[in-house]
Structure 1
Amino acid sequence: MFAREDALSLFTEFLDDKSLQAYFNRVGYSGEKEPSLDALKLLHYLHPQAIPFENLNPFLGMPVRLDLPGLLNKMVLEGRGGYCFEQNMLFGHVLNTMGFLVKGLSARVFWEVPSGEIKPRDHMLLLVQVDGRKYIADVGFGGSSFTAPLSLDITDAQETPHERFRLNRVNGFYYLEIMIREEWRLLYRFSLEPQLRPDYEVVNWYLGNHPESMFVNDVMAARCMPWGRYALFNNLFTTHRKNEVSLKQTLTDLREYKALLEEVFLIQLPHHELMMDKFKKLLAEA
Structure 2
Amino acid sequence: MSEPQLTNLALYLQRLGFDAAPAPTLDTLRQLQLRHTGAFAFENLNTLLGQPVLIDLPSIEQKVLHDGRGGYCYELNNLFLTLLQTLGFDARGITGRVVMDQPEGAWAARTHRLSLVTLDGVRYITDVGFGGMVPTAPLILDTDAEQLTPHEPYRIEQHADGYTLRANVGGEWRAMYIFDLQRQEDIDYTLGNWYVSTHPDSSFVKQLMVARTGEGWRRTLNNGSFAIHHMGGESERRQVTGVDELIGLLENEFDIRVPQHPELGGVINQLITIRK
CA 1:12 to 1:207, structure 2 compared with 1: closer, same or farther past 3 Å? same
Q: What SS does structure 2 have at the residue aligned with 1:158?
A: coil
Q: 1:263 aligns with which of 248, 252, 255?
A: 252
TM-score w.r.t. structure 2 length?
0.95
Q: Are 1:189 and 2:178 matched, yes or no?
A: yes
Do the aligned partners of 1:178 and 1:187 also contact (CA within 8 Å) in 2?
yes
Deviations 1:20-76 (A, max 9, x none): 111112232346522111111100010010100000011101111111100100011
Do the aligned partners of 2:74 and 2:189 also contact (CA within 8 Å) in 1?
yes
CA 1:284 to 1:110, structure 2 compared with 1: closer, same or farther past 3 Å? closer
TM-score w.r.t. structure 1 length?
0.92
Q: What SS does structure 2 have at the residue aligned with 1:223?
A: strand
Shift of 1:199: 0.2
Tell me, in whole angstroms, the C-alpha distance in 2 between the residues paired with 1:41 and 1:29: 13
Q: Are 1:12 and 2:3 matched, yes or no?
A: yes
Tell me, in whole angstroms, the C-alpha distance in 1 between the residues paired with 2:153 and 2:166: 9
Q: What code does the residue aligned with 2:6 have?
A: L
User: Matched residue pairs, number?
Assistant: 275
Partner of 2:45: 56
Q: Are 1:87 and 2:85 matched, yes or no?
A: no
Partner of 1:165: 154
Partner of 1:254: 243
Tell me, in whole angstroms, the C-alpha distance in 2 between the residues paired with 1:118 and 1:126: 20
Q: What SS does structure 1 have at the residue aligned with 2:181?
A: coil
Tell me, in whole angstroms, the C-alpha distance in 2 between the residues paired with 1:163 and 1:258: 28
- Correspondence 1:64-213 to 2 at 5 A: 64-114=53-103, 118-213=107-202
Shift of 1:89: 0.4
Tell me, in whole angstroms, the C-alpha distance in 2 between the residues paired with 1:193 and 1:118: 17
Tell me, in whole angstroms, the C-alpha distance in 1 between the residues paired with 2:178 and 2:252: 34
Q: What SS does structure 1 have at the residue aligned with 2:272?
A: helix
Tell me, in whole angstroms, the C-alpha distance in 1 between the residues paired with 2:13 and 2:89: 16
Partner of 1:228: 217
Deviations 1:224-273 (A, max 9, x none): 01111000100001110011121211111221111001110111011211
Tell me, in whole angstroms, the C-alpha distance in 2 between the residues paired with 1:152 and 1:118: 21
Q: What SS does structure 2 have at the residue aligned with 1:80?
A: coil
Q: What code does the residue aligned with 1:12 have?
A: E
Tell me, in whole angstroms, the C-alpha distance in 2 between the residues paired with 1:116 and 1:42: 33
Tell me, in whole angstroms, the C-alpha distance in 1 between the residues paired with 2:38 and 2:264: 25
Shift of 1:171: 1.7
Do the aligned partners of 1:222 and 1:232 also contact (CA within 8 Å) in 2?
yes
